[in-house]
Amino acid sequence: MKTLQTKFCNVTFPSPLISVSGIVTSPQANAVLAKEKGIGAITWKSVSLRERKSHPVPVVVPYSSGYINSVGLQNPGLEQAAKDILHIKKQIRVPLIISIVAFQISEFYPLALGVAKTRPDFIEINLSCPNVDDEAGKPFGTDLLMTTLAIQEVKRAAGDIPVIAKLTPNVVDITEFARAAEEAGADAISAINTSGPGLLIDVSKRKPKLGHKIGGISGKAIKPLALRCVYEIAKTVNIPIIGIGGVSTGEDAIEMIMVGATLVGVGSAIFGVGNSIFPKIAQQMQDIMEKHHIRDLKSIKKCID
Ligand SMILES: Cc1cc2nc3c(=O)[nH]c(=O)nc-3n(C[C@H](O)[C@H](O)[C@H](O)COP(=O)(O)O)c2cc1C
């Protein structure tokens, strides 16, 4: 049996397959997910400084090519999240990535400091959130200066905990943002967050399918976009990458590694299949490796010119 064990930022992961932020949300459900065969790490739902309520339902809608969501970054806020993280950490044996999200640059330092006190293995910055100080409310991740400042603030608070910058695909040139993240001190990059936003209409009701009308697109529809982004980022920076977007099979995961990802995130596919998507993808990866005489994952990483 081929090993899927993977090193990422000097941390050993039993498998490159990790859960992405926001799909499995309750702390206890994450503890259960962490026991699944084939899973390499858990990413926590993004934590903000204060509690956030969900947007009007429905907040997640499937369609023929994936999903559209407008959850609205619902979470209990730092104080409760820190208690939950400490509780769950004792129960899980795989690395834990805590995702954080802020609405002003000044929130990043206290938020990251609070999360760092729970000693996660990584802190991931969700840069796809609108900056309320910006007149247009542009997401931090679509502005190079804001991306730099957010990462610098989190790095200042994180101490020796590695920091991952999660990039949005909703920019003209993602390599500029990857380079800015590396220069600002990010230890790794994850890409991509949802694309869009998009809109779906319920013809019989003559209204949008999502309660919030518009939302981020995920799942199969965004796989080619994610592969292109990871490919370009891998050519630009020297820090490792978590490839995310539309992965639901072993072949998808191998494609992500071939374009330059070290770890591979699985999100929307959990909705369709449940937690057993992890052993399923892991087995498919091992079968592909056997069939194509792939010695180990390192030997196929970034093999596409
Ligand atoms: C319902 C839902 C909630 C999400 N919540 C978050 C979140 O809180 N933080 C974050 O960084 N990304 C969030 N995402 C984005 C995912 O982590 C991931 O980047 C995206 O869905 C693409 O991966 P996929 O195609 O495998 O789902 C969310 C996605 C969905 C579908």
Reported as a single tens digit per residue, the pLDDT across 140-167 is 999 999 999 999 999 999 999 999 999 9
**Listed residue (83, 78, 143, 88) closest to 108, CA to CA:** 78
Quick one: residue 28, left, alpha or beta (phi over 0 = left, psi -120 to 50 = alpha)? Answer: alpha
pLDDT for 136 beyond 90: no
pLDDT computed for residue 155 by the predictor = 98
pLDDT computed for residue 137 by the predictor = 85
Position 107 in a domain: yes
pLDDT computed for residue 2 by the predictor = 84
State both tokens at 15.
Answer: 């498998």
The residue contributing the CA closest to ligand 1 atom 21 is 218
State both tokens at 276.
Answer: 């057993």
Give the residue numbers spanning the domain of 135.
6-300
- Report, as residue numbers or ranges, the catalytic residues: 129
Task: Compute the average pLDDT of residues 167-173.
Answer: 97
Ligand 1: atom nearest CA of 247 is 26
Position 1 in a domain: no
Spacing, Cα 305 to ligand 1 middle (Å): 29
CA atoms within 13 A of residue 126's CA, in its CB half-sphere: 24
Q: Note the pLDDT tens digit of each residue in 192-208.
A: 999 999 999 999 999 99
The residue contributing the CA closest to ligand 1 atom 22 is 245
pLDDT computed for residue 131 by the predictor = 82
pTM for the full predicted model: 0.98
Quick one: residue 73, left, alpha or beta (phi over 0 = left, psi -120 to 50 = alpha)? Answer: left
The residue contributing the CA closest to ligand 1 atom 28 is 22
Residues annotated in the binding site for FMN, as ranges?
A: 21, 45-46, 126, 166, 192, 219, 245-246, 267-268
* Rounded distance between C-alpha atoms, residue 75 and residue 294, angstroms: 41
Q: Which of 23, 54, 59, 126 to mutate to test the pocket of ligand 1 (most atoms within 8 A of CB)?
A: 23
Amino acid at 194: T
pLDDT for 302 beyond 80: yes
- Which CATH number belongs to the domain containing residue 255 in this structure? 3.20.20.70
Contact 131, 105 (CB under 8 A): yes
Residues annotated in the binding site for substrate, as ranges?
A: 45, 69-73, 126, 193-194
Q: What percent of the chain has pLDDT over 70?
A: 100
Task: Compute the average pLDDT of residues 215-232.
Answer: 98
Q: Which of 128, 218, 256, 273 to mutate to test the pocket of ligand 1 (most atoms within 8 A of CB)?
A: 218
Q: How many structural domains is the chain composed of?
A: 1
Query: Looking at the DSSP assignment, which residues form a beta bridge with residue 167?
Result: 191
pLDDT computed for residue 288 by the predictor = 97
Band (pLDDT 50/70/90 cuts) for residue 133 is confident
**Listed residue (303, 269, 296) closest to 39, CA to CA:** 269
pLDDT computed for residue 130 by the predictor = 83
pLDDT for 1 beyond 80: no
Position 106 in a domain: yes
Peptide bond just before 224 cis, omega within 30 deg: no
* Rounded distance between C-alpha atoms, residue 259 and residue 235, angstroms: 9
Phi, psi of 114 (to 5 degrees): -60, -40
Q: Note the pLDDT tens digit of each residue in 79-131.
A: 999 999 999 999 999 999 999 999 999 999 999 999 999 999 999 999 998 88
Quick one: residue 153, left, alpha or beta (phi over 0 = left, psi -120 to 50 = alpha)? Answer: alpha
State both tokens at 263.
Answer: 């770890």
**Listed residue (107, 95, 124, 116) closest to 52, CA to CA:** 107
Which residues form ligand 1's pocket by a CB distance below 6 Å?
Answer: 20-23, 45-46, 60, 67, 69, 71, 73, 99, 126, 166, 193-194, 218-219, 222, 244-247, 266-268
* Rounded distance between C-alpha atoms, residue 257 and residue 236, angstroms: 16
Q: Note the pLDDT tens digit of each residue in 36-68.
A: 999 999 999 999 999 999 999 999 999 999 999
* Rounded distance between C-alpha atoms, residue 186 and residue 162, angstroms: 8
* Rounded distance between C-alpha atoms, residue 64 and residue 46, angstroms: 27
